[in-house]
C-alpha cells in the first residue's frame, strides 16, 4: 500500500500568497511535507532587536508540525521562543541556462513556513521528539546509543510550530526562452545537481570490529 | 602563482560575535569568501511589517561586496532595498554520528553576513554586475547570449551590501564524544555529503548541432 498522501490545501495568507511566478507555487500540504522530508537543512529567521537574523539548522516534521532544536544557551534559541519565525527549506536541483541572460534560472524545490515558535516544556515529550528526529534520519539508531542524560535534555531546547501558513515553490525542466530566441544558434540546457552520499567514514576511535549499520547505506538526502 | 588570499580579519560585532561553539567560528575574510564561492544558493532575511521573512536566492561576490538579484516587481526585493538584511550561505558536508544522541552533529561550512541592502541604480553598473555573476558561474557564456534588453535590465533589481559584519562557522571531522563513551561498543562515524553535477541535459528545443560548451563540464558547486 502506498504511503498515505495528504491532499489538504492550506489557505494562502497575506505573506504566503504567491504573487509572482505563481505557476511554480502551491499550498498543497503533501508538496510541503515532501520538501521537508527531502532536506533536513533549513534556515530559520527571527527578528532580534528589530533586525533580521537567519541561521541554518536541521528540521524535522511530525504530523502537521515542524521542529528544530539547539542549545538551550544559544541566544537565538532563547530569543525565538514565543517569537515569530520564518523557516525556509530549499533544494537547488539545477542551473538552468537559457538563450538570454534574463531567462537563466535555477531548478529548485523550496518551502517557506511562517509561525510562532514554541518550546516543548515537558521532558518526556522533548526526548520523544528528539528520538523522532533521529528515527527519521537513521532508523533504529536511537536504541543503540548511550541513553540521553538529564543534563543533556536540559541543555537542549526543541522548538516547534504548526504548519498552517506555508507555501511551496518548485521549478523543474528546461529553460523557457522568448519565443523568437529559440531560432538563435545558442546552446541551452540544464546542469542537474543532486546530493551525493559518499562512502561512510568510520570514526578512527571506533572499537575493533565496529561496522556501520547496514541501513545507513540507504541514507538519502535532497 | 596561487590566487591572492585575503588574510584580513573582520572585527566581531555584537551580532556576529560567536558566543557558542567558538572553536568552529572565524572572522577571516578569505574563509567567508571561500564559502560564498562554493555555494551560490543563499538565504536572505528581511523584516516585513515587524516579522521575519527568509527567501532563497543566488548570491555572488565582487571584491568585498556580496550581491543578489530579483524581479524589480517582487515585494521582497522592493521592501529590502535600504533595509537591514541578514544573509546565510550554508553547505551541509555530512552527518556526524556519535555514541550518544547529544553529540550527533553535522559537518558544514556556513557564513552569516549582516548589512543594509542597497540597489545598484546605474544601468551600466547593473548590467556589469549581472555579467560578473554569470562569468563567475559560467565563464565566457555571457558573450554567447542574446544581448540583454533595456526592459530586462529594468525588470531586474540588483541588491548589494559590503562584507564588513560577517562570520564563518565550519565543522569538520569525526564526532566528539564524551571521553567515557569511547569505550562503548557503538559504531560512530560520518556520512559525507557532496553536491554532484549530473550529466548536462540539452534543451530539447536546441537547434541541430548545438553542443554544450566544453567548460560547463568543469562546473562545480559545494
pLDDT in tens, B168-177: 999 999 999 9
Close Cβ partners of A75 (under 8 Å, ≥ 6 residues apart):
A48, B19
Radius of gyration of chain B from its Cα atoms, rounded to whole angstroms: 21
Residue A15 has pLDDT above 80, yes or no: no
Residue A176 at interface with chain B, using a CB cutoff of 8 Å: no
A112 at the B interface (CB within 8 A)?
Answer: yes
- The pLDDT assigned to A2 comes to 53
Q: Is the pLDDT score of B1 beyond 60?
A: no
From chain A residues 46-85, the ones with a CB under 8 A of any chain B CB are: 46-48, 50-56, 58, 71, 73-75, 84-85
Q: How many CA atoms lie within 13 A of A50 on its CB side?
A: 1
CA B130 – CA B141 distance, rounded (Å): 12
pLDDT at A24 over 90: no
Report the alpha-carbon distance of residue A58 to residue A89 in Å, rounded: 10
Domain boundaries, chain A: 22-218
Rounded distance between C-alpha atoms, residue A184 and residue A162, angstroms? 49
User: Per-residue confidence at A200, pLDDT binned at 50, 70, 90?
Assistant: very high
Under a CB-based contact definition with an 8 Å cutoff, are residues A210 and A200 in contact?
Answer: no
| pLDDT score recorded for residue A161 | 98
The residue among A25 and A160 whose pLDDT is bigger is A160
User: B93 Cβ partners below 8 Å, 6+ apart?
Assistant: B106, B107, B108, B109, B172, B192, B193, B194
According to CATH, what is the number of the domain B22-217? 2.30.110.10
Decide: B148 and A101 in contact? Cβ < 8 Å: yes
Contact B18, B12 (CB under 8 A): yes
Task: Count CB atoms within 10 A of the CB of residue B136.
Answer: 13
- From chain B, the residues in CB contact with A221 under 8 A are 92, 193
- Chain A hits for B206, CB-CB cut-off 8 Å, are 187-189
CB contact under 8 A, B54 and A43: yes
Which residues from chain B sit within 8 angstroms of residue A71, using beta carbons? 20
pTM score of the predicted model: 0.93
Residues B137 and B219 sit within 8 Å (Cβ to Cβ): yes
Q: Which residue has the cell 511562517?
A: A114
Positive or negative, the CA dihedral A76, A78, A84, A85 is positive
Strands (DSSP E) along B144-216, which ranges? 156-162, 166-171, 189-197, 201-202
What pLDDT digit, counting tens, does each position of B30-40 carry? 999 999 999 99
Is some CB atom of chain B closer than 8 A to the CB atom of A135? no
Task: Tell me if chain B has a CB within 8 Å of the CB of A203.
Answer: yes
The total of other beta-carbon atoms located within 10 Å of residue A132's CB is: 16
Contacts of B171 in chain A (CB under 8 A): none
Interface residue B176 vs chain A (CB under 8 A): no
pLDDT bin (cut points 50, 70, 90) of residue A177 is very high
Per-residue cell: B2: 596561487
B72: closest chain A residue by CA: A20
The mean pLDDT value of chain B amounts to: 93
CA neighbor of B129 nearest in space, from B115, B118, B113, B116: B118
Q: Closest partner residue to B186 among A98, A114, A144, by Cβ?
A: A144
CB contact under 8 A, B47 and A47: yes
DSSP B83-112: SEEEEEEEEEEEEEE-SBSTT-EEEEEEEE
**Nearest Cβ partner for A56 among B88, B144, B193:** B88
Q: How many CB atoms are closer than 10 A to CB A22?
A: 10
pLDDT at B19: 58
Closest CA to A85 of B20, B47, B61: B47
Q: Which residues of A touch B95 (CB under 8 A)?
A: 137-138, 219
Residues of B in contact with A47 (CB under 8 A): 47, 50-52
Between CA B48 and CA B58 the distance in angstroms is 21
CA-nearest of B153, B89, B18, B187 to A138 is B187
H or E stretch including B133? helix B123-137
pLDDT (0 to 100) of residue B107: 97
Instruction: Report the CATH superfamily, name and number, of domain A22-218.
Output: Electron Transport, Fmn-binding Protein; Chain A (2.30.110.10)
| Digit-coded pLDDT (tens) for B150-196 | 999 999 999 999 999 999 999 999 999 999 999 999 999 999 999 99
Residue B23: what pLDDT?
A: 56
Which is it for the CA torsion A89, B39, A55, A12, positive or negative?
negative
Q: Closest residue of A to B92, CA-based?
A: A41
Q: If you search the block for the grid coordinates 560564498, which residue do you land on?
A: B36
Select from B174, B191, B212 the Cβ nearest to the Cβ of A219: B191
Q: Which residues in chain A are contacts of B189 at CB distance < 8 A?
A: 200-203, 206, 212
Contact A193, A92 (CB under 8 A): yes
Residue B68 makes CB contacts below 8 A (sequence gap 6+) with: B42, B44, B57, B58, B59, B60, B87, B158, B159, B160
Amino acid at each position: 500500500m502506498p504511503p498515505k498522501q495528504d491532499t489538504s490545501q492550506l489557505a494562502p495568507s497575506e505573506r504566503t500568497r504567491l504573487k509572482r511566478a505563481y505557476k511554480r507555487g502551491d499550498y498543497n500540504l503533501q508538496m510541503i511535507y515532501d520538501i521537508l522530508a527531502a532536506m533536513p537543512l533549513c534556515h530559520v529567521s527571527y527578528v532580534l532587536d528589530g533586525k533580521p537574523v537567519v541561521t541554518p539548522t536541521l528540521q524535522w516534521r511530525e504530523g502537521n508540525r515542524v521542529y528544530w532544536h539547539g542549545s538551550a544557551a544559544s541566544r537565538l534559541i532563547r530569543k525565538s521562543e514565543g517569537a515569530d519565525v520564518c523557516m525556509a527549506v530549499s533544494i537547488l536541483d539545477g542551473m538552468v541556462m537559457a538563450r538570454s541572460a534574463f531567462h537563466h534560472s535555477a531548478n529548485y524545490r523550496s518551502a517557506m513556513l511562517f509561525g510562532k515558535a514554541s518550546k516543548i516544556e515537558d521532558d518526556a515529550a522533548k526526548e520523544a521528539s528528539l528520538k523522532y528526529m533521529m528515527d527519521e534520519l537513521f532508523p533504529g539508531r536511537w536504541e543503540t546509543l548511550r541513553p540521553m542524560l538529564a543534563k543533556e535534555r536540559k541543555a537542549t531546547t526543541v522548538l516547534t510550530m504548526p504548519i498552517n501558513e506555508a507555501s511551496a515553490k518548485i521549478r523543474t525542466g528546461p529553460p523557457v526562452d522568448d519565443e523568437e530566441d529559440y531560432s538563435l544558434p545558442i546552446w541551452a540546457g540544464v546542469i542537474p545537481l543532486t546530493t551525493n552520499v559518499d562512502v561512510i567514514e568510520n570514526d578512527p576511535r571506533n572499537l575493533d570490529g565496529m561496522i556501520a549499520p547496514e541501513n545507513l547505506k540507504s541514507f538519502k538526502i535532497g
